[in-house]
Amino acid sequence: MIHSSAHIDASAEIDEGVSIGPYSVIGPNVKIKSGTVIEGNAFVHKNTFIGKDNLIYPFASVGGDPQDLKYQGEDTFLEIGDQNEIREGSTINRGTVQENGKTIIGNNNLLMAYTHVAHDCILEDDIVMTNNAGVAGVVKVGRGARLSGFTLVHQFCHIGSYSFSALGTIITKDVPAYVRVSGNPAIPRGLNTVGIQRQNLSKEAMDALKESYKILYLRKNKLKDAKLEIISKFKNIKEMDLFIESISNTERSIVR
């Protein structure tokens, strides 16, 4: 159902089964798939694709121009997958031509009120961003990560899958998968045991993660040496791939 007071651009493609509430605005070149609900007073800007069964709350701003001084009005894009919940006052910006040209939100994510996702970010699946958390441009957030309220992430950082940041954490370097961080700047506080338990990892993988954390953080190894030791010991355990990748493919180094 589309409310009579909603404004829909003529170029927008709205599937049957989409609900758009009063006074919401749907801009040009927007595509919205079936089952998605956009409540009243929300704004979906141009060049935005929204998949199935999403729920977008009032005063969310989805697909707005990137907040980047290099942006000069080029056509850039936002893609949102399925079954995401975007709460009141949240903002998600499109990409820039200098980077990916596209911001990507995966599936089954919860962006609580007043969260911000900047240009060219990639959020995978099953992520929770709690109220007022924000990620700067070109940040990648891995599957199942949890960013607590008022967490702020510096541009270009990678947040590892199933990691956890505590309230008010300021992240300026990459966070490895499964690691729990807090503070300003963020420092490691142990493994995210709750997130690990939810993955039903094998005992072998659990033991490998615990040993890897000790090698990386508790034994005063140089970072290069710690990485080599972890890879050498655990590269044949498939469930360790996420952790090994998150400490190997880093441009900003990792929290320590």
Annotated catalytic residue 137: yes
The residue among 50, 126, 122 whose CA lies nearest residue 81 is 50
Contacts of 157 (CB under 8 A, 6+ apart): 135, 136, 139, 140, 171, 172, 173, 174, 175, 252
Distance (Å, rounded) from C-alpha 229 to C-alpha 215?
A: 8
Q: Which residue among 68, 120, 126, 174 is the active-site one?
A: 120
E strands of 130-236, at which residues? 134-135, 140-141, 146-147, 152-153, 158-159, 164-165, 170-171, 179-182, 187-191
Q: Which amino acid is residue 190, in one-letter code?
A: G
Place of tokens 């072998």: 204
Q: Which amino acid is residue 225, in one-letter code?
A: D
Annotated catalytic residue 106: no
Q: Which residue among 119, 126, 149, 160 is the active-site one?
A: 119
Annotated catalytic residue 27: no
State the number of CA atoms in the 13 A half-sphere of 255 facing the CB.
Answer: 31
Give the residues across from 218 on adjacent strands. none
Q: Which residue among 137, 142, 144, 195 is the active-site one?
A: 137
Q: What sign does the CA torsion over 106, 197, 199, 233 have? A: positive
Q: Which residues are catalytic?
A: 119-120, 137
